[in-house]
């Protein structure tokens, strides 16, 4: 797709794609430090990256659907990681170490921030065309 044909949706999807990849890298670090990351989270993230990457091909008949799937997958990733890390946050706020990993709370905040940004971008992308007619 030439530069002239790219629309706002293309750039939004591209940013979403980058944020999803950043999320993946963060999750790999988070998991390696003991954070809970379920296998389904990686799968959902892979789906999200593929769906958003597909939008970079320009406006296709299935683009609207992949955008929705991408946004939903990102929401799943965000909520599941947050949910599994809730004790990290709760213990960090209370200054104790009990059943979570409070030292990872900062990373939970970062992941949530990046993820929310990705979801907003993905939703915005699904409202917009990926290429000009």
Partner 1 sequence: MKHSKLWSGLTSVFAVLMVIALIGNMLASANASYINSQLGINTARVVEKGTAPTDTTYFKSQFGAFDSADAQAKAIDAALEQNVNEMREGAALLMNRDNVLPLTGVTKISVFGHGAVDPAYQASSAGTKAKTGSVNTIDLKTALEAQGFEVNETLWNALVSGTAARGVMQQGWGGMSIAVTGSAAGSEENRAFYEQYTDSYTEYGDAAIVVFTREGAEGTDLMMQDKDDEGGSADPISSLALHKNERDLLEMVRERFKKVIVLLNSPNQMEVHEIKEYADAILFIGYPGHQGFTGVAEILNGTVNPSGKLVDTYATSSLSAPATVNSGTETPKFMNADEINSTIGEDERAEYISFQAENIYIGYRYYETRYADAVMGNGNASSNVGALPGAEAWVYADEVQYPFGYGLSYTTFEQTLDSVTVGEDEITASVTVKNTGDVAGKSVVQLYAQTPYGQYEIDHKVEKSAIAIVGFGKTGLLQPGATETVTVTVDRYLLASYDMTANDGEGGYILSEGDYYLAIGDDVHDALNNMLAAQGYTAANGMTADGISAKSYKWAEKLDSEKYRYGEDGVAVSNQFEDCDLNYWVEGAGTYLSRSDWAGTYPVSKTSVNATAEMMDILDGEWYEKPADAPSFAEVAAAFEVQSGLNLAAMKDIPLSDTDTWEKFIYQLKVEDLPNATAESFTCPAVGELSPSFAVGDGCDSVGGNYPIPVSINGEDVTVPTTRYCSNPIMTGTFNYDIIANRGTMMGEDGMWSNFMINYNVGNDLHRTPFGGRSFEYMSECPTMNYLAGAVEVEAMEKTGSHAAPKHFVGNDQEFYRDGVACFFTEQAFREGNLRAFEGSVRVANAGGIMQSFSRIGLKWNSSSYALNTQVLRNEWGWNGAIDTDAAPCFGEYVDGGYRNHAAEVLTAGTQEWCLDGVGGHGNWVLNKARETDDGNLLNLLKEAAISWEYAISRSVITNGYSSTAVIEHATPWWSTALNVTTICSGILALVCLAMLVLSKIKSRKAK
User: Using CB under 8 A as the criterion, which residues of the chain lie in contact with partner 1 when the complex forms?
Assistant: 29-30, 33-36, 61, 64-65, 67-68, 71-72, 74-76, 78-80, 82-84, 86-87, 91-92, 94-99, 101-107, 109-110, 119, 122-124, 126-129
Nearer Cβ to partner 1 (19/101)? 101
Nearest to 33 by CA among 110, 95, 116: 110
The CA distances from residue 107 to 55, 78, 79, 115, 117, in Å, are 29, 13, 14, 12, 15
Tokens of residue 81, six digits: 């990681």
- Token pair listed for 42: 């990686």
CB of 4 to partner 1, least distance (A): 20
Question: Cβ 20 to partner 1, closest distance in Å?
Answer: 14
Nearer Cβ to partner 1 (4/69): 69
């Amino acid at each position: 797709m030439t530069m002239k044909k790219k629309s706002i949706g293309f750039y939004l999807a591209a940013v979403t794609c980058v944020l999803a990849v950043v999320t993946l890298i963060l999750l790999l670090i988070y998991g390696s430090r003991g954070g809970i990351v379920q296998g389904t989270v990686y799968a959902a993230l892979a789906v999200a990256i593929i769906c958003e990457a597909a939008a970079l091909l320009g406006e296709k008949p299935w683009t609207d659907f992949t955008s929705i799937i991408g946004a939903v997958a990102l929401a799943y990733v965000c909520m599941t990681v947050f949910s599994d890390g809730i004790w990290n946050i709760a213990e960090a706020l209370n200054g104790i170490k009990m059943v979570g990993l409070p030292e990872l709370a900062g990373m939970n905040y970062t992941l949530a921030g990046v993820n929310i940004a990705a979801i907003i971008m993905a939703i915005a992308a699904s409202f917009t065309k990926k290429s000009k007619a």
